[in-house]
Structure 1
Amino acid sequence: ADINYIEAEKTIDPNYTSHGIRLDIIVADDKNTHYNLEMQVKNNKNPHTDTYVLPKRSRYYQALLDFDLLQAGQPYDLLPPTFIIFICVFDFFEKGNYVYTFKKRCLEDLELELPDEATTMLLNTKGTHGNISKDLKSFYDYVNNHIVTTDFTKQIDDEISYLKLDTKVRREYMLMEARLLDERREGEAVGFAKGETNANTATAKRLLSMGLTVQDIAKATSLSIEQVEALKADQT
């Protein structure tokens, strides 16, 4: 199908309290099917829970992509078909498949598929079996080993070589990297501030239960007297 829309580094941030995301590539074809493509070079874990983040990351990306595609007042059936595609340089399931494709199915009858037109795909560049096109296999070879074997990967390699020599593109890329780093630092600072506030709140609650005065607790926790009084009112 013909591509009639493409956007790179698209930010979706529903509101200031939600976890915003930056999508690598959004593509729409002439049939209004939308594709989100993400490059995954690491199989990251949450260090606090020791669980891999990719499955629920894909769930959240799907939710926010749908959020962005349906405007206020529009009926649900106007949601277009979507594909969330993660290009992984690792085998998440360790089954050797070139591609892992997921749709919703009924557990009581696996032949029943929920026709919500949402598909999640994990492309495994380290795969060894399955049916994929010659171009996709050549793309895997290019990602893994930078080997050009088809006209398709030759086009990719030529484009990358051109972009590397384009000083304007390089400058924009460096500015984008700096902006992303600033955003990460800002997010870390906000997270630290929230954590510190939560810790002070927990300490204040314990001190209230011990009978200390509002004024003393405010001094000990750096909370305002109004905040401590609100906590006291909640406890009573």
Structure 2
Amino acid sequence: MQDLLTKFANLTIQSDFIFKKVMSRKRICKHLLEELLQIEIADINYIEAEKTIDPNYTSHGIRLDIIVADDKNTHYNLEMQVKNNKNPNTNTHVLPKRSRYYQALLDFDLLQAGQPYDLLPPTFIIFICVFDFFEKGNYVYTFKKRCLENLELELPDEATTMLLNTKGSHGEISKDLKSFYDYVNNHIVTTDFTRQIDDEISYLKLDTKVRREYMLMEARLLDERREGEAVGFVKGKDIGLVEGEAMGITNANTATAKRMLAKGCYSLQVIAELTNLSLADVEKLKEDMLVSDKD
């Protein structure tokens, strides 16, 4: 319990939990969007904080941090990204495909069944990254669909993806947006805007209801992790038995192949067929045995 209390006390805006709470304050979220896009927004409405979108077909469910719509029906999804994760199986970064997936499922949710496609509202998927994904130094990377044969042609689907780089140094951004970057990076208060954010976080940490909500969320996540680890252990044990058995068979076949090679009366092709090893493996065994004999 004490560890959780300490963890809660040390949370910053980089935490998903705190970020969602802070951006749930209309004046802060609205001002951030205005500073980023350099537009005036009369008002914003929260569609649903931490909305879960899970279509009827088999897919990954996603939890969107903050979804708001302005007075012109433009929808914004704001996400805090602390880690530049990679898929361990492919060694590729997941952020680009994640942004594509967020956009697709957000559109799916915004367009009701039977409605024409042209009723899809303009959307902005905005990732606030504490790393420079492209390593070009830009404060902001903005993406829209363009024609490769003529880059002046833009596909008017009104879908925009923005990667904010809080570690950036190039480009033009407003004073308040730069101060927001500094606050995300180093918890430095330099403007009235970041003072509002810092005060809001201080208020949140004094709120017993917020603290209790955090505790319950962490307890639930811990239970989910433990359950996942238990399932993973059982699966891993089963896989290990199968792999161990397969390795044992391979080692036995290799030993048989070595004995046949030592006799010198079997062709490499015959050895491969009788031991279920590949011809290349048998050739490698022969080379290794010749080197060993020389040594």
Could you say whether these structures have the same fold, taking a TM-score greater than 0.5 normalized by the shorter chain as the test?
A: yes
Pick from 132, 141, 146: which aligns with 1:105?
Answer: 146
Alpha-carbon displacement from aligned partner over 1:135-155 (angstroms, at most 9, x marks no partner) = 110000000110111111111
Could you tell me which residue of structure 2 aligns to residue 70 of structure 1? 111
Counterpart selection for 1:87 from 120, 123, 128 = 128
Give 1:7 shift: 2.4
User: 1:44 is matched with which residue?
Assistant: 85
Shift of 1:192: 8.9
Aligned pairs, number: 199
Q: 1:177 to 1:160 in 2, by over 3 A?
A: same
Looking at structure 2, the residues matched to 63 and 193 of structure 1 have their Cα atoms a distance apart, in angstroms, of: 35
TM-score, with normalisation over the residues of structure 2?
0.62
Instruction: State the structure with more CA Rg.
Output: 2
Matched residue, 1:161: 202
Structure with higher helix content: 2
Change (3 A) 1:15 1:36: same
CA distance in 2, matches of 1:23, 1:197: 35
Moved more, 177-186 or 84-93: 177-186
Please, which of 66, 71, 90 is the counterpart of residue 25 of structure 1? 66
Q: Where do 4+ consecutive residues of structure 1 move more than 3 Å?
A: 177-198
Matched residues in 1 for 2:108 and 2:227: separation? 24
In the aligned structure 2, how far is the partner of 1:189 from the partner of 1:25?
32
Q: Name the structure 2 match of 1:4.
A: 45
Give me the CA root mean square deviation. 2.5
Q: CA deviation at 1:190?
A: 8.0
* Structure with more relative contact order (C-alpha pairs < 8 Å, separation 6 or more): 2
Task: Determine the C-alpha separation between the residues in 2 that align with 1:190 and 1:65.
Answer: 31
More strand by share: 1
Cα 1:182/1:109, change in 2 over 3 Å: farther
Residues 1-236 of structure 1 mapped to structure 2, 5 A cutoff: 1=41, 2-15=43-56, 17-182=58-223
1:56–1:140 distance in 2 versus 1, CA, 3 Å: same
